[in-house]
Amino acid sequence: MSKISLKNLSHSYLSSQVNKEDWALRNVNIDWNDGGAYALLGPSGCGKTTLLNIISGLLNPTEGQILFNDVDVTNKNPVERNIAQIFQFPVIYDTMTVFNNLAFPLKNRGISEQEIKNKVEEIAEMLELTSTLHNRASGLTADGKQKISLGRGLVRSDVNVIMFDEPLTVIDPHLKWILRSKLKELHQKINRTMIYVTHDQTEALTFADQVVVMHEAEIVQIGTPVELFEKPRHTFVGHFIGSPGMNILPCKIDNGAISINGNMIETKIDIKDKSFSKTEVGIRPEFIEFNESGLPVKILKVSNTGRHKIIDTESESGKIKVIAKSSTNIPTGSAFLNFKKDYTYVYGDNWIIE
């Protein structure tokens, strides 16, 4: 049980770093509170797994520190850090039975036979592995094997953190849902810090209390699912979370007044005395309405998903997607859009301006 802090963490797989791109992880600062359920969300290759392997001690960071309960563990190995990690593909010991697979991490730590037996049976019960407990692990299906991997991660009750590296990739969609709920349930039961790496926003948003979004080797935002949706702090978060993602349109800032192609946009933000090489307005499709006046657009396409309509429109500054209720009457040809003031944000060089 402990709080995990990462301080000024950077990592590169190259021996010398010249460009920004040479880093797999750039200046990460984050505190993972004890008992939290976190998701680490980002596209493939953004550094999620690197970050995970650094926390677990499989990788030594190029720069920076890892603290467990304010004790520096940067140079400690995974066993000393006492963590559990579950990998993308099922990792099982082929020659052992399911029972011995689950017991393996305990046996290596010299725990008594009786205690191992109780613990393994408890975990097997939880993961519904009891009926196959004494079969050879290599005979199981892919999801059965992944359950064993999960079980080996959960079997030790004293670990500081349990980390999941896209553990449900190989699992069938309907089982995915069941296993994910199981993990969530488990988190409430054992109350251990869990970090769940994924590139799937649904998975992240349903599992975690706090979602950490990574993009190009950096952490761009940490927040609850609602915060990420309502107030993305980086244009990437806007794009990546939500379906369809946030509309990002180039804008001009003239003495505090924001305009898209000559049309004034109202926001709650005061942005005098700031200069950026690139400024953009971000607005989610959910917060746009049709009106008599406003930003002029052409209607390109209307798709009805049943629950709502997604309207593709085109303004002179680029395409804008709008989500409207199924019952809404959509104008044809040209129309005008209004942005809800409270949810309209301005981004300077991709970062939110406040």
Inter-residue contact 58 to 86 (CB < 8 Å): no
160 binds other proteins (CB under 8 A): no
Among 95, 181, 191, 326, indicate the residue that binds other proteins (CB under 8 A): 95
Q: Which helix (H) or strand (E) covers residue 244, if one does? A: none
* Residue 152 sits in the site that holds other proteins (CB under 8 A): yes
Question: Is 11 a binder of other proteins (CB under 8 A)?
Answer: no
Rounded least distance, CB 90 to other proteins, Å: 9
Q: Which stretch binds other proteins (CB under 8 A): 89-97, 212-220, 329-337, 339-347?
A: 89-97
Closest to other proteins by CB, 57 or 282: 57
Closest CA to 284 of 336, 334, 339: 339
Size of the site for other proteins (CB under 8 A): 26
> Considering the complex, what minimum distance in angstroms separates the CB of residue 99 from other proteins?
14
Q: For the purposes of burial, counting CB atoms within 10 Å of the CB of 8, is it exposed (0-12), middle (13-18) or buried (19 or more)? A: exposed
C-beta contacts of 136-141 below 8 A and 24+ residues apart: 136/94, 136/95, 136/96, 136/97, 136/98, 137/92, 137/93, 137/94, 137/96, 137/97, 137/98, 137/101, 138/92, 138/94, 138/95, 140/92, 140/98
Q: What is d(CA 342, CA 339) in angstroms, rounded to the nearest whole number?
A: 9
N-to-C CA span, the chain: 37
What's at 279, amino acid-wise? T
Taking CB under 8 A as the rule, which mask of x and - marks residues 109-148 in contact with other proteins? x--------------------------x-xx---------
Measured from the CB of residue 19, what is the shortest distance to other proteins in angstroms? 23
What's the rounded Cα separation, in Å, for the pair 87 and 68?
A: 22
Q: Please identify, using beta-carbon distances, which residue of 93 and 224 lies nearer to other proteins.
A: 93
How far is the C-alpha of 133 from the C-alpha of 124, rounded, in Å? 7
Q: At its nearest, how many Å lie between other proteins and the CB of residue 50?
A: 13
Contact letters for other proteins, residues 182-221 (x by CB under 8 A): ----------------------------------------
Q: CA-based Rg of the chain, rounded to a whole angstrom? A: 24
φ, ψ dihedrals at 217, nearest 5°: 75, 5
Smallest gap, in angstroms, from Cβ of residue 86 to other proteins? 8
Residues 45-74 that bind other proteins (CB under 8 A): 53, 56, 58
- Residues 41, 83, 161, 171: which binds other proteins (CB under 8 A)? 83
Phi, psi of 283 (to 5 degrees): -145, 130
CB closer to other proteins out of 142 and 330: 142
Residues that bind other proteins (CB under 8 A): 53, 56, 58, 77-79, 83-85, 87-89, 91, 93-96, 104-105, 108-109, 136, 138-139, 149, 152
